[in-house]
Structure 1
């Protein structure tokens, strides 16, 4: 249910933020005291991946660290296609954004001398991850921002509004259409606005094994593509190497900080297999570790994260969230290795934005995981995602204030239409089929045969689908598969077993319109049919 009744307001603000995660709330706070409305699909803090982020925010704030070191690590992880200007400017703003969060009251860990306590994660050359109690950063940040939002009178928080469509008039975005009551209402409402800020999250739930909440189904990317926005780098999906393999959906996460503190990966025979695959072993880039674990699991040898020696009796104190997940599954991580499996975790691709968060559609800005700023390249450096969210959310607020200096109210949300396309508690058979297809054919390891099969499945599902929300998800899945088919190489989070090497001619970003993706998918589907 919404925190406010539509009937209690005479007008709607001219800025509507879609999404109640870190990017959406930070943008709303940065826009204050300008009136804004935040449409959140779930109760605030419950449906956002931000709240589930365990490790923290990467920022060069220690005495021995520098902006340049952080930048070089980001570029190295991004496998040759990082937009270096974007990445450098993002990293340079990191310390200031940490100060913003501290000013809101985020209780970042400190050492005995009162300095921020920092941890190191995979592919970082320095300790630069600012966290809270080992693995509670996302939850603590969100709880603090939510409390601040509730105390900010300029922010109208509408919970349980599932946005299903971006409205346009020519090349201008004119509003959104949302379904109230957690998406269970048959009625939909149109929200007119002069500015839409899309902060709707990622695509993890398009895969059968994911660490993301159920709301992360790629709806925002799909809506934007259907409205005409350019989608960048959709093929680059990051699979977190160490989801806890206990059959839960979504899969609970064993934070990378465990490996940063010395936990090792072994198979059921006790062999430390990552030492055979990369000089950094468990601290290799995420895509390398994910493929290493995937290979062990596929071969029937299993994969386990062993923290018994490095962390042992201190586990519950240092990593309370992971400890709770393990105990709920009947695992004692103090004395037992934790079974792990790669899971869809983060999308480096998404709606193309510039340095100010502007998309290719006038009136549409975007921040957070729904975007592709170019800062991550082909493979996100650990803990750069929360940094990206706050940096670009802040820039969007500044950009909107400059472009639309005077707030203007339009009519409140009006009825749009009615339909039976309501949100259900469990996945439909069509959604289950899509998720299985994406994991099997567009997952950790891909090849042309699997991707072509995925294209055919998506084409078949589109032929019978008449539902807007599932159509958004199909559109995003189509973008991922089309990008993966088109990119005939392996790079970062995109690994093709039939083309395992990076190729110089593909050291560039991908830019796709919906018509581009339609053409690629149609051609692939026709080849399967033939």
Structure 2
């Protein structure tokens, strides 16, 4: 048993920012961070583009940023949330700078602002093409200097502890008391009792297999919240990044070619060399991600090809190498010289716009359970996230939760929480069940619940998912906990939410597109 005042599940920008602030404010309180891989492994680490923040008031304005966000969200954003996040952005950036984050500047000493799809002005603060890596480095330095933070890498959160685990609780309210956590090195399951719990567990990209997300992005937070009966919505809005590098040799797509490359002037071409984006949208390559992804998907369906190309050969290479050194090197390592070669690209699962419902203070529908970052549905993104608004959202909402807990401290509850009960289970020896069902699940989601959906595909996906669920649940009931088994269960839950909420949506919006919703 571990007792703490604050439990943080996840070590990306959302969780670490909150942890640093609350630990500094209350040096006598304990903060525990659990993360299932190494401390720095998160979606944040792989964020290339940057943070969208209004800084150049001569050309840009809060109004323009708000309008760009609302347009991308296709009518489903919460306008009050959008205004709050955009206007609080500059102060959150100042905090990052005070903590030691470095962002690129121009010859005049001002921030070298970038522009990405859907943005009307240059407003992206970045560090080369590894902005997320720089932010993660900065935050971890702050975490390690604070003695009241305990960071537990290789600890996998299995389930939230709520009322149904505790017999002595007699209340109509749903309350979170912490989490059961697997120490992956010892295989012991730890009970962590906490006054408040923050879900900052990141995204769901691995559900689709082909994704720009790291291997840890298996939707664990969303699935845990779902099992705890927390409100979850907008799961049908999956953002596919239009330009993941397509490995022609292996057929994989994981390395992200940043949105900012198109902002820098790159063109999308089909296999015949035709620049097709002007045919779909007047903004061409700078259209929002849903439009670019759907356009590429249509081109691929027409041609039967597996990928399209990003053409950078006409760009200023000195400037390109300065802005995107990691992308340039990665392409070169894959035998693509962007000075002469087009980059093969394909859309890949990138970002979840829905998730655990939270209010403006990051509160979920369960008491003492908060959430921020990609696992949440705040109302900022609506039907489609504007590029580089995600790091901004995480910074603002982690501050909102911090501020709320400063003003509304949670009284510790004296409860006896039972240990994890795995009586009657055995160490699984049929790992093929996990691997087979994982591959089937990912193929199912790519082929039936991808960029373009239909009623028939969704119904077939639901039928096949039910069979996978039954087999895996039967296996789970008799097996001792392993990370891979829990991740598979979580991905099945996430897939179920995506499919059922897709079936319920009868109008195409943003990142959701069904052939059956098109007016005949």
Residue 49, structure 1, aligned to residue 39, structure 2: no
TM-score normalized by the length of structure 1: 0.88
* Structure 1 Cα separation of the partners of residues 108 and 419 of structure 2: 56
Task: Determine the structure 2 residue equivalent to 1:32.
Answer: 23
Q: For 2:246 and 2:433, locate their aligned partners in 1 and report how far apart those are by CA, in whole Å.
A: 21
Aligned equivalent of 1:519: none
- Structure 1 residues 70, 20: closer, same or farther in 2, change over 3 A? same
Give 1:14's aligned residue: 5
Structure 1 window deviating more from structure 2 (487-496 vs 295-304): it is: 295-304
Per-residue deviation at 1:426?
12
Closer/same/farther in 2, CA of residues 487 and 185 from structure 1, 3 Å limit: farther
Question: How far does residue 316 in structure 1 lie from its aligned partner after superposition?
Answer: 2.9
For the residue of structure 1 that corresponds to 2:256, the secondary structure is coil
Structure 1 distance, partners of 2:460, 2:74, is 27
Q: Residue 341 of structure 1 corresponds to which residue in structure 2? A: 346
Alignment partner, residue 76 of structure 1: 71
Change (3 A) 1:289 1:501: farther
Corresponding position: 1:67 with 2:68 = no
Aligned residues of 1:218 and 1:473 also touching (Cα < 8 A): yes
Matching residue of 2:457: 450
Taking the TM superposition and a 5 Å limit, the aligned residue runs for 1:124-273 are 124-133=119-128, 135-169=129-163, 171-181=174-184, 185-246=186-247, 247=250, 251-273=254-276
The structure-2 alpha-carbon separation of the partners of 1:285 and 1:367, relative to structure 1 and needing over 3 Å to count, comes to: same
Distance in structure 2 (CA, Å) of the matches to 1:373 and 1:242: 26
2:470 is equivalent to residue 476 of structure 1? no
Partners of 1:192 and 1:425 in 2: CA distance: 35
Counterpart of 2:168 in structure 1 is none
Of 401-410 and 341-350, deviating more is 401-410
In the TM superposition, residue 498 of structure 1 has moved relative to its aligned partner by: 2.0
**Cα displacement string for residues 19-67 of structure 1 (whole angstroms, at most 9, x for unaligned residues):** 0111010010111233210001111112x11110001000111122111
In the TM superposition, residue 364 of structure 1 has moved relative to its aligned partner by: 0.6
Contact 1:13–1:408 at 8 Å: present in 2 too? no
> What residue is the counterpart of 2:376 in the other structure?
371
CA contact (8 A) 2:116 2:263 kept: yes
Aligned to 2:481: none
The separation in 2 between residues aligned to 1:272 and 1:194, in whole angstroms, is: 56
Q: 2:278 aligns with which of 275, 280, 285?
A: 275
Secondary structure of the residue aligned to 1:201 is coil
Aligned to 1:92: 87
- Check conservation: 1:211, 1:243, Cα contact below 8 A: yes
2:109 corresponds to which residue?
A: 114
Q: Secondary structure at the match of 1:37?
A: strand
For 1:424-439, what aligned pairs fall within 5 Å after superposition?
428-439=435-446
Tell me the CA shift for residue 462 of structure 1. 1.3
Tell me the residue number matched to 2:467.
Answer: 460
Is contact 1:187–1:416 with CA below 8 Å preserved after alignment?
no
TM-score under structure 2 length normalisation: 0.89
The answer to whether the 8 Å contact 1:164/1:223 transfers is yes
Q: Which residue of 2 aligns with 1:300?
A: 304
8 Å contact from structure 2 (residues 465, 492) kept in 1? yes
CA distance in 1, matches of 2:379, 2:253: 27
Q: Where do 5+ consecutive residues of structure 2 fail to align?
A: 165-173, 477-485
Rate the CA distance shift 1:244–1:423 in 2: closer, same or farther, 3 A: farther
**2:517 aligns to what SS in structure 1?**
coil
- How far residue 398 of structure 1 moved from its aligned partner, in angstroms, is 1.5
Match of 2:315 in 1: 310
Aligned to 1:243, what secondary structure does the other structure show? strand
In structure 2, what is the Cα distance between the partners aligned to 1:213 and 1:352?
A: 24
Between the two proteins, the alignment pairs up a number of residues equal to: 489
1:454 and 1:163 map into 2 onto residues whose CA distance is: 28
Task: Give 1:333 deviation, angstroms.
Answer: 1.4
Q: C-alpha offsets along residues 282-320 of structure 1, whole Å, 9 cap, x if unaligned?
A: 001101100111222332354100111124354333201
> By how many angstroms is 1:100 displaced?
0.8
Deviation larger for 104-113 or 232-241? 104-113
Select which of 391, 395, 403 maps to 1:390: 395
Pick closer, same or farther for the CA change 1:427–1:291 going to 2, 3 Å: farther
Query: 1:415: Cα distance to partner?
Result: 6.1
Give the deviation of 1:115 after TM superposition.
1.7
The separation in 2 between residues aligned to 1:204 and 1:419, in whole angstroms, is 30
Distance of 2:470 and 2:433 partners within structure 1: 22
In the TM superposition, residue 471 of structure 1 has moved relative to its aligned partner by: 2.2
- Quick check: 1:233–1:483 contact (8 Å CA) kept in 2? yes
